[in-house]
Chains A and B, each alone.
Chain A
Amino acid sequence: MRAFTGIGILICGLASVGCAPHPHAAGQIPITRGERLAVLPLDNLTDSPDASRRYTQLLFDAIGGRGAFELVPLTDVDKALAHYRVRRTDMMDTLTVRSIGIDLKARYILAGTVLDYSEPSASSSGQAEIAVSIRMQSVAGGRILWTCMDARSGSDGEGPFGWGVTRRANKLAQKSAQQIVEKIIAALQY
């Protein structure tokens, strides 16, 4: 009996070590309350054409809901990116970041990449999956102040008999965006 208990504790310990906390982030953001932030459309490396638009909107809403930043409207961001002919925000050099930031009167930009965004078809089994990498850059120096990686699958919270599996990518993305914003708020240094 004791042997089984010992093995059980060991397995639980290993499982908890194996499950890295979501999301994985580092950095600190020196800020005064209400600074202007531009959320740039995330680059989309997935097969889902809507992934970037959906995740960017979720991130925008989650940040807006916390009131820590004054957000630049997404339509203004789109116009600025079109003006500077930026197609991929991860390929922007610091000069372009600065120019766009100045045009939008933003002190920081939030950019990143959607690496995965998928869900099983209605007829098949499986779970949703998303993965994003996000960074916050200062407009003035172009420095990356804070960065974060979040990859999760709908089976992360799976219980016995498949209970708790998330099959909708949007639901998973909403949770991810909210937790990323929690990390951003925790990194702010007022």
Chain B
Amino acid sequence: MSARNRIRVIGAILAMNAVLLSCAGPRNFALKDVDWSYYKKVGVAPFQNVSEDRAAGAKVTSAFVTELLITRAFEVAEPGNFARSFSETLRAQGTNDPSQVSATELKLIGDKTQVQGIVLGTVREYRMVRVGQEEYPLISIDLRLVDAPTGNLIWMASVTRRGGPKFPFVSIGETHTLGEMTEKVCTELAGSLASHL
């Protein structure tokens, strides 16, 4: 292989790699034979936070609600109303942990807030990590949509993103901050959920 051809092959491999990295969506599961048109209005529960950043749950919830509204795929329950109903139901159950909410409680919340689906989420990682000389954001989120009347899982997605360099030697396409990475990840997740409609 000539030197020119070798350069072409290396360039093509790098470019393909970058395309694959930049286009990989969140890994997701969607229940088969679901009538998605039923889910006209959804509520987003405050995300559970198991990361080191104590505000990460609230930050990601706020960003995700905004991105879900931007997709216009669903009507989204007014966040203040929904969060209040959700918290009140959890308190009545004697817990603060959103993962402990039962199907009965989900039905109750759904009836109270007039939503057909409820989005529950967990923020697993939300921090800066060192890559070489630089620090980049690392975010990991799990989301699921449950059917409010039955509590059945309808859709689930998981995404982990690190804002490291995409190309060797050049810094284009890098994500430097947690805010930018939050926006990107929430856009991906909201888009993935909205794509079922």
Contact = CB atoms under 8 A, between A and B. Distances in A.
Contacts of B55: 45-46
Contacts of A15: 172-173
A186 to B, nearest CB: 14
Contact of B80 (A17, A20, A26, A97): A97
Interface string B74-109: 001011110110000000000000000000000000
A94 B78 contact: yes
Given A3-B4, A94-B81, A97-B80, A130 B179 contact: yes
B183 A149 contact: yes
Nearest to B11: A7
Interface string B1-18: 000100110010011001
B79 A90 contact: yes
- The secondary structure that dominates the A interface is mixed
B180 A147 contact: no
Contacts of B167: 11
Interface string B55-73: 1001100110111011110
Given A7-B14, A18-B22, A149 B70 contact: yes
Nearest to B171: A158
Report, nearest first, the 9 A-B pairs whose CB atoms are least far apart: A131-B179, A151-B179, A116-B179, A129-B177, A15-B172, A26-B70, A151-B183, A18-B173, A7-B11
B182 interface: yes
A153 B180 contact: yes
A4 B6 CA distance: 12
B115 to A, nearest CB: 14
B62 A113 contact: yes
Interface in A109-144: 113, 115-116, 127, 129-131, 133, 135, 137, 142-144
Contacts of B173: 14-15, 18-19
A25 B182 contact: no
B183 A20 contact: yes
Nearest to B71: A26
Contacts of B81: 93-94, 142
Contact of B183 (A6, A131, A158): A131
A19 B8 CA distance: 26
A115 B62 contact: yes
Interface size class of B (residues with CB under 8 A): 35 or more
Given A15-B172, A133-B65, A143-B78, 5 more contacts: A3-B7, A11-B15, A24-B67, A149-B63, A155-B176
A19 to B, nearest CB: 8
B162 interface: no
Contact of B184 (A20, A46, A158): A20
A31 interface: no
A27 B66 CA distance: 11
Contacts of B69: 26-27, 135, 144, 147
A17 B172 CA distance: 11
B170 interface: yes
A19 B184 CA distance: 10
B178 to A, nearest CB: 6
Contacts of B67: 24, 149
- Name, among B19, B78, B167, the residue most crowded by chain A CB atoms within 10 Å (CB to CB): B78
A89 B82 CA distance: 14
Contacts of B15: 7, 10-11, 14
Given A7-B15, A18-B173, A129-B176, A91 B80 contact: yes
A93 B84 contact: yes
B80 A153 contact: no
